[in-house]
Copies of this chain bind each other. A is one copy, B any other.
Amino acid sequence: MDWSIQDIARLSGTTSRTLRHYDDIGLLKPSRVGTNGYRYYDEDALATLQRILLLRELGLGLPAIADVLAVPTRHADALRSHLDWLRNEKERLDRQIGAVEKTITGMEGGEQLMAEDMLDGFDHTQYKEEVEERWGKDAYARSDSWWRSLTAKDKAEWQAAQRALAADWTSAAESGIDPASDEAQALAQRHFEWLRGIPGTPGGGTTGPTKEYFTGLGEMYVADARFGANYGGRHGAEFVRDAMSEYAKRHL
């Protein structure tokens, strides 16, 4: 006993187009094909289809589903790795929701935060609370007014420099070199110079950050995952911290 494509579509709650697609990509072949080219599906095919639709509802991609169908024992593994990715997605959404809420309340706080100001909210003062808590409101205010005084281009350049530095730190950390090596110390030097360019950093301005601030910053990169993420996660952050600490010991 078997049924037409439309029957199966209705029984399973999907569409004939989807079934044809699954046939095209080899995910689910009809159990029989008439001389007229009509597709027919039997009970086994229906059961397989149900599994496919279930897995799809769980969010798996069609290639992943094909893998699962091919090797039944990998079923749980596939679901577990998929679970990881789902959790990541959820975290990402959480962060995005927070960011959007922040942006909205920021806008409602008056002063019609537009373009440039919105950038502030994201790139610079993203960690307002942390900065204030650790180094005082004063430092934050100074840093903030400096930032606001920049032109769009200056800001973009500063951000680009930050990104470039972070990228170099990350690849250095991944290469497995010693935090005390010349390359790492050169990066620490760049990091130092970069900080010197920001008024409001304790000891900042022309003389550059103090020893305490510099080493403390390194610790913070490790302690706070949000900062560490810029340097390739925990491992990267630890590398940066060690290199900065070594640099501070030698030069500050």
Interchain CB contact under 8 A, A50 and B86: no
Min C-beta distance of A201 to chain B, whole Å = 23
Q: Is the interface of A mostly helix, strand, loop or mixed?
A: helix
Interchain CB contact under 8 A, A104 and B86: no
- Interface size class of chain A, counting residues whose CB lies under 8 Å from the partner chain: 35 or more
Please state the number of chain copies in the assembly.
2
In the assembled complex, the Cα of A43 lies from the Cα of B153 at a distance in Å of 7
Which residues of chain A from 55 to 82 have any CB-CB distance to chain B below 8 Å in the complex?
57-59, 72, 75-76, 79-80, 82
Q: Does A225 lie at the interface of the complex (its beta carbon under 8 Å from any beta carbon of B)?
A: no
In the assembled complex, the Cα of A10 lies from the Cα of B107 at a distance in Å of 28
Interchain CB contact under 8 A, B100 and A13: no
Interchain CB contact under 8 A, A76 and B90: no
Q: Does A101 lie at the interface of the complex (its beta carbon under 8 Å from any beta carbon of B)?
A: yes
Q: Does A217 lie at the interface of the complex (its beta carbon under 8 Å from any beta carbon of B)?
A: no
Q: Does A160 lie at the interface of the complex (its beta carbon under 8 Å from any beta carbon of B)?
A: yes
Interchain CB contact under 8 A, B54 and A83: no
In the assembled complex, the Cα of A12 lies from the Cα of B161 at a distance in Å of 11
